[in-house]
Structure 1
Amino acid sequence: MKFSELDHNGWAELQLYLDTCLLPVTGLTGLESPPEATDKAAKTGEWLSPLESAFRGRTVTLPAYHYYDAEDEEERRKLERYCERVKRTGFRYLAIVSGESGWRAADYPSADLIVAPGNDGEAPDPEAIRAAVASLWKKESK
């Protein structure tokens, strides 16, 4: 579900079942032309789409975190603090989803999973992406 599909009453009723949030991170730096910004947002959407369709009843897609430069240490800390706060709202799991490569899980200890290409130009593998999220839930049941 997208965050905008939930109201106060719906959230109270569904929160128990919606334990995983998806945080799309576009990775815009502000230096992109409009077509370049569109391409970055579309790439993130390609990595997000398999999760939204497969896990609609268990995930909530948060508003996109558009402006983020992974080369900037302060921005990495800011994103980690944001992830930490989101988890405090009641989500058991948080997955960062991006169309940009170069993510290091160690920089985001509050994120349970990072779904992103391993290198530039890599296309998403929908089955592998879905399996990565499902493995989070399997760990819980063991």
Structure 2
Amino acid sequence: MVKNDGKGEIMKFSEVEETTWDELSPYFDTCLIPYTGLTGNETPIQATKALERLRDFMDLVEIPFKGRVITYPAFQYGLGEDYSLLNEVCHHVKTTGFRYVIIMTADANVDGEKLNNCNLLLSLQSMKEEGQAISAAVIKEKIQNLWSE
């Protein structure tokens, strides 16, 4: 059910067992949706590097919040400013019992104002552009603030 990759225990959607979900679900109130934002114009090397950047950024959430956050499948492609499908996915995830939905992206410039069904957008690109520190402590504070609202 839980994968240990040497960095800590990480809960992925595919590791949840049907027989234990009802018992565990009260402890998992937050869903993490990785958003790659690929366009299809990337070479295989560029796509791989984008996925690696997103994976490394996601470690700042997955590792410290194991046992409360479940990572769902990545939303890989995004063209332009239309976030309707991503918004719909966030809405549906909430209807399955998650109270909070966090979208994480490393490279995509996402307008958080257009993601009204997302509780928290963590954008590596935006944080860099705004001169924000990018560390486990900063990400932890953002998530804890979300949970305390």
Q: TM-score, normalised by structure 1?
A: 0.88
- Alpha-carbon deviation of 1:47? 1.6
The answer to whether structure 1 residue 130 and structure 2 residue 140 are counterparts is yes
8 Å contact kept, 1:23–1:94: yes
Name the counterpart of 1:99: 106
How do 1:109-128 and structure 2 match up within 5 A? Answer: 109-117=116-124, 118=126, 119=128, 124-128=134-138
Q: How many residues align?
A: 135
- Alpha-carbon deviation of 1:124? 3.4
8 Å contact kept, 1:47–1:124: no
Equivalent residue letter for 2:137: E
- Alpha-carbon deviation of 1:50? 1.2
How do 1:33-112 and structure 2 match up within 5 A? Answer: 33-69=43-79, 71-73=80-82, 76-112=83-119
Q: Which secondary structure does the structure 1 equivalent of 2:27 belong to?
A: coil
Q: Which secondary structure does the structure 1 equivalent of 2:103 belong to?
A: strand
- Alpha-carbon deviation of 1:101? 4.4
CA distance in 2, matches of 1:82, 1:49: 22
The RMSD of aligned alpha carbons is 1.6
How do 1:19-38 and structure 2 match up within 5 A? Answer: 19-38=29-48
Name the counterpart of 1:10: 20
CA distance in 1, matches of 2:23, 2:104: 26
Name the counterpart of 2:5: none
CA distance in 2, matches of 1:86, 1:38: 27
CA distance in 2, matches of 1:43, 1:33: 15
Q: Matched residues, percent identical?
A: 34
8 Å contact kept, 1:27–1:40: no
CA distance in 2, matches of 1:51, 1:72: 26
Equivalent residue letter for 1:2: K
Q: Which secondary structure does the structure 2 equivalent of 1:97 belong to?
A: strand
